[in-house]
Structure 1
Amino acid sequence: MTTQKMSTEFDVIVVGGSYAGLSAATQLARARRRVLVIDAGQRRNRYAQHSHGFLGQDGREAAAIAAEGRAQLLKYPTVQWLEGAAAQATRLARGFRITLTDGRGFDAQALVLATGVVDELPALPGLAERWGMSVFHCPYCHGYELMEGRIGVMAVGPLSMHHALMLPDWGQVTLFLNETFEPDVEQLASMARRGVTIERTAVRRIAGHATVELADGRAIDMAGLFVVSRTHSGSPLAEQLGCEMEEGPTGLFVRTDATKATSVAGVFACGDSARAAGNVAMAVADGAMAGVAAHRLTIFGAQAA
């Protein structure tokens, strides 16, 4: 961490210090912009030990990727890092103010919101405790490591059909309906073509590594389980500023254009809070685009960002 005195005025404030925020801040730092990164320390994948599918980092510890990104970023002298939670975003006559929960305020010409999302899991005993370890949401991130074993999909409704039809490429799939919905004739035919087994008995709990205990007393061992989580933004800042939101399959996310600009001039959003689905590689790409666009805004103004 830099030893310089903490300023209260910056060119750009990046809210969120995970993969998207680190990527955005790095682009800005390399453009010699004065950048403040405010981070509450809540990476979405903090429960997962390893990260997969990110070029050059496949299989590395997720925490190590983030830690190295932060260490590299803080070598740039124009960057300051602040551990804390941003509570309020306010538009100023020129720029924005971010106020922390402790009352401190910081101003900038532009904002990059990389605040991530919070996952809300079904209230099924044993599910949340295994999140990121043997219960997952992204086949591309975790499917290969299940070694073509038995994979369970815990249904939350018709949206779980997406998992059920994708995951046979990674293993032998059982869809546990758990009384959430009944597939129609066409859906049943699609799953039959993909070799998906349907289990209609209610699920009582998840035990062991990924054992599905059913209401009739049966216990079915799985290599891993997949479930669709509901998501909501990890911060209220985008809505406070009036950014337009969009309804995705799992919840609201911030609407952005191709440069990651939101509907509010001078505010950019990247990472999981600004796309319907994502992973580390996509978050890093989004962050790079947001950082470049925010830099252009500091030069040319909102119309050319």
Structure 2
Amino acid sequence: MTPELPPAVDVLVVGGGPAGLSAATWLGRYRRSTLVVDAGQQRNLPADRAHGLLGRDPTTPHELLAEARAGLEQYPEVVLHHGTVSSVRKDEAGRFCAVVDGVEVSALRVVLATGVRDRLPELDGIQDHYGTDVHHCPACDGPTAQDQVVIVLGSGDQVPAYAAELLDWADTVRIVTDTADPCFGEDQRAALADHGAEVVDGVAEALVGEPGALVGVQLAGGELVEGDKVFFSYAHHPTHELALELGCELDHEGGIVVNGFQLTSVEGVYAAGDITAGLQLVPIALGKGTAAGVACATSLRGHPTHGASPAPPTRRFRSG
């Protein structure tokens, strides 16, 4: 059963993925009363495996989250709530008022770890195959395509470079593209050919084969493009609605701008994980979450806090 929502906390963490749970862990270690609100929409949940975690390679996204949530139980100051934050505003006194599942919660600090949402290909069978033999991240899942035939789907001028990255592992890379896509002029096709990547003109319509035993991609005209795995690169959409409401500065891709301590342009608001610029990998998200949690916790030192958090010190250091 989800604990009752506290009316006031030191820190509100929005997002219960790797970045948010990492921030909450360190806030708990610093004994800061913390509410983590998790909508359960982590982008890697469909994946069979999460890779590249030191000492935990591989694991599953569900195992990783379960262990992180269990670890929070040692910190009584941290409350994990499964729900959504619909609004956050900053009042004249510098406190944050959030609406969590219709209930108002006050916080002294906010950590945004809301992540991004990927645009999936419009393919028959995508929900069954996604995370097993259809992937979006070459760095995460490229090694699983070693010596295999990979089909790349996507749109935009990033696709040729994206496809070339997969040649670090794949035996063959085939890009399926609409002939109307301006990103695949003669120069781009020649460059891809130099890298050993093939370009197939057509519109992908359906995945052929069972999950884990992919045969290929069927085009709108009925042609089968054979392949063992599919990688796609379309668009991903930052979940930055709360950041916009708070007035946080965003970069040209819609990510939240932060400094070296994960502090945004709004005093008291921190951000971590894929919602910020840089590599979008679980180990990176964990590190950013740690930085945000520590910086956020130490920013409260000497200030009145809530619950069981350390009170402002009444003693002063003396020298001599």
Q: With structure 1 as the length reference, what TM-score do the two structures score? A: 0.90
Letter in 2 for 1:150: V
Aligned to 1:189: 190
1:190, CA displacement in angstroms? 2.4
**SS of residue paired to 1:36:** strand
CA distance in 2 between partners of 1:183 and 1:100 (Å)? 46
- 1:4-39 CA-to-partner distances (Å, cap 9, x unmatched) read x64211111111111000100111111111111111
Letter in 1 for 2:289: G
Gaps of 5+ in 2: 304-320
Q: CA RMSD in A?
A: 2.0
CA distance in 2 between partners of 1:240 and 1:129 (Å)? 36
Aligned to 1:233: 238
**SS of residue paired to 1:294:** helix
CA distance in 2 between partners of 1:182 and 1:28 (Å)? 46
2:229 paired residue among 202, 224, 229: 224
Aligned to 1:175: 175
Q: Please say if residues 201 and 215 of structure 1, whose CA atoms lie closer than 8 Å, have aligned partners that are also in contact.
A: yes
Q: Please say if residues 89 and 240 of structure 1, whose CA atoms lie closer than 8 Å, have aligned partners that are also in contact.
A: yes
1:134, CA displacement in angstroms? 1.7
Letter in 1 for 2:196: G
CA distance in 1 between partners of 2:236 and 2:203 (Å)? 24
Aligned to 1:207: 208
CA distance in 2 between partners of 1:202 and 1:14 (Å)? 42
Q: Please say if residues 122 and 205 of structure 2, whose CA atoms lie closer than 8 Å, have aligned partners that are also in contact.
A: no
Aligned to 2:274: 272
CA distance in 1 between partners of 2:191 and 2:265 (Å)? 39
- 1:185-234 CA-to-partner distances (Å, cap 9, x unmatched) read 44233212211111113333222225211244321231211111322233
| Residues 228 and 210 of structure 1, relative CA distance in 2, 3 Å threshold | farther
Aligned to 2:290: 288
Q: Please say if residues 134 and 210 of structure 1, whose CA atoms lie closer than 8 Å, have aligned partners that are also in contact.
A: no
Aligned to 1:297: 299
**SS of residue paired to 1:7:** coil
1:68, CA displacement in angstroms? 0.2
Tell me whether 211-220 or 14-23 shows the greater mean CA deviation: 211-220
Letter in 2 for 1:197: E
1:1-305 → structure 2 map (5 Å cutoff): 6-92=5-91, 93-101=93-101, 103-171=102-170, 172-179=172-179, 180-208=181-209, 209=214, 211-234=216-239, 236-248=241-253, 252-275=254-277, 277-299=279-301
| Residues 216 and 232 of structure 1, relative CA distance in 2, 3 Å threshold | closer
| Residues 104 and 182 of structure 1, relative CA distance in 2, 3 Å threshold | closer
1:295, CA displacement in angstroms? 1.2
Identity %: 35
Report which of the two structures shows the higher radius of gyration computed on alpha carbons: 2
- 1:147-181 CA-to-partner distances (Å, cap 9, x unmatched) read 32000111312221121111111111011113333
1:129, CA displacement in angstroms? 4.3
Q: Please say if residues 204 and 213 of structure 1, whose CA atoms lie closer than 8 Å, have aligned partners that are also in contact.
A: yes
Q: Please say if residues 240 and 275 of structure 2, whose CA atoms lie closer than 8 Å, have aligned partners that are also in contact.
A: no
